[in-house]
Structure 1
């Protein structure tokens, strides 16, 4: 016989890993909160304990259930049984059935656990699991709801109901999705932040309480405001979790939404647009841009736009939207050039540079590094100094915060010596970038030199580029332009920089950052 697994009211078929699994359902699950699809054969999205009560295997006193995985079905019917109304689903990838467990000893355990309420052994476990939420769905979501005169009070309430259903099905919890709501009207209003609630019940209540604001649907303005202000760490955004804005649009936006879409992408936010009730013919004349949806969403690939014909009967649209929002790997806009690059600096420490100019070089590097989001899961910085020899000042994995990286740059000591740039590039490619080659980040090397190299730079630079490293060359004073161009990645003009004086390095900072971002975006298209 199988050992049984204690589950929560909200455990779904798809949360179980085995073909056949014996589970123990807790007592007193709230029947109205069960999501069950089908009758006898249930879609794996259904609550296991909900299905077991629906099929009559157990009552609300809980108990032992055997869950058997089955293939997906074309159709799951809606049937009302034992106080639970199951829902229709047209098609789903896998199913399960529920039966009584053969093992009577287990049955007894199941009962005693669920009826012995005061026993401290079992009781505290349940709220914990529910609090954690759906761990398979990692997302920080802002629902940007339409509060304009376009939608009106009645449809506004239907919109709230829909958002509430989506919030419940997401499986909100401390380790699951977190959500907040922003209302778009004349001026956007953040109704509540990600940090305010971490339980579905609280979120539902907060959504019910929202008042209708009215005014123009300045969706562009609201989207931009949300992208810039909503996802700060102090407002509850979590590091490394995809940021998502779901924009609900009734009809059309009354302002420009394209620029807001660009801002959202720059901030690493994934924008979805749920459009309801297409604009009527007369309204179309007032729409600034008929292709507005394609321009505002994260990517114009069909995944980020979602249409519903009306606000009535929207239940069947809840699940497919939730599936999209939980598809971690589809969130193409989470990665930005600021949080997904490794930048290695190769610094000329030859005698011609001199102490005070060397300080200016370090300042330049600090200011470039400062622009990026450095963390264990974000961008990373490394530095190598060279003369005839090479010295790794710090590697990509040494420091994972911006403060530590900047402090390490300040502490670099000037070596003084000859100039062997080619050897230094080979050294850096092998020792500093080598360990990172299968990582998720895109690799960049910024070479800073003030003179002629004693060795060949073309071969080592070509090898670096072949290894997937984009090279920017920055020359000062006597650095020959031919060497700089030979080291730089294609197109060479935009990857080669030169200044007569070390003080000129400062002006290049924005162009280098922009160049890295441009290469990053081009590599993603």
Structure 2
């Protein structure tokens, strides 16, 4: 309370000296509006007021878009008015300035200018940033950069007051409380000036205490000039409070323009109470360079480096090296010595065990331990053991049990691929994709060529498919063709592409080799229009399997229908006709294909004739399944004959039943007429 009362008294006295009663009746012009002679008078007056008061002074100016250009110019005038009563010079007051918006822009540092005129010229030349309001970022820059010795701040031990004056007109877009507190703790005295709708709590969080001397709020930029005389009194006038107050500083008291602060002598640091001092912990504040432990020495300024257990300090008194107890040469280990943090231990090489004396080693007889698990014989080696079988037996994969020698192991079985032992002999087997030849030894590649068929592809070329996916469909077709025995007497292949129309790419028997078909498929042009699957099935049924287009009598007929979406016409009618005519249909759908349509197209059962993939990346898997199914279930000519005979018989029976039903209807009507005639009689 005593401090506050004395401070208020000083302010009142300074105001009484600064304002002449006769001047109260007329407005006082700003410093910039005075003439050259008046400026000289003012300069002399201020020089006497600020004599012997060197400062490190940094302006922090809000240059956000909310500050209008005209108001920005008023801020520049206010800065120039403050400069008017400061004694600017390298050994007097040093001035720096930064402005901020979304970023911080340093206009000039504390060591940039040594003359007041140069500072004023730089202030007038400033350009408005007109961006955000990152006040916290600006305070952080001031603390970490602006008040550093490279930027012109004088060393802390010179006790030159560090003053920051913030002028802002809006709410910060970042937090200011923590960084402002850090800046004040670092010895920066902060004056916070708010203009307009600035939150007073925000200004108090920024400014130093007492807030009555460091925090100011004016209604608009026109009124900011009224603060000039207040800051002139705070910065240049006042009493040396350290000499008149019971400051209670433990070491040193340093007067500031509006208050005082306690400082500590070298080797000490200020406590949180801001008054008492404690001895600095060199290990905390210095780059001690100790590799392990930094220890303060009681009663002696400084520190010493120490090492953890099992290490010793090197000659540089900072780094540590591991103590190798084994190098001392007195360990007595028979085999190996291994250092530990506090001592050493002896170890034995592989195949040996450490004796009870902890130093000597004995060879391990692993077979004698009885847990080797060998069925026949156990044989010790230098460091392990292995199992051995008696003559006529060989070791099993578990390397412990034995089995009787097998014929395949003799190497004269003659199997081209794999030899498989049986109970008393062996058999030859082929790897996947091959089958055994009649000699039961050699293998041949398995192809879907043991039967013959007429195969017609019905391929969707609609717009929804797209050119890239159409190329994948062509690869799919060629993949199926490669698995077939295509020849003049073997399998024949034809292909339809459909969109809004149906186009025959090539008919059955047009090509007599798989290579020619592959070439024809690769040269197919994408149609890219509608999706008339029903029309394609109609064409396949009535034309593709006709003798005119190469279909052969008594040869199984198979069709693979590919689609990627809903058909624009009915598929059921012509799919049913084709299946009733003995054509086996495999339906393959991808992407947006409709399952109900696929079931109507595919032969029964569905699980063998219907395939679906969510996208074209799964086409390869479906291709393999479809090739396997076609090869396995391709009907032989004999089966087709049996099937056609059964179907013919069924059609004949259905026709006889139809005629019988008609005759029954005729008889029923005649009986009804006869009954009516008898009833009338």
Which TM bucket (shorter chain)?
Answer: 0.3 to 0.5
Q: Identify which of structures 1 and 2 has the higher relative contact order when contacts are C-alpha pairs closer than 8 Å and 6+ apart.
A: 1
| TM, length-normalised to structure 1 | 0.41
| TM, length-normalised to structure 2 | 0.32
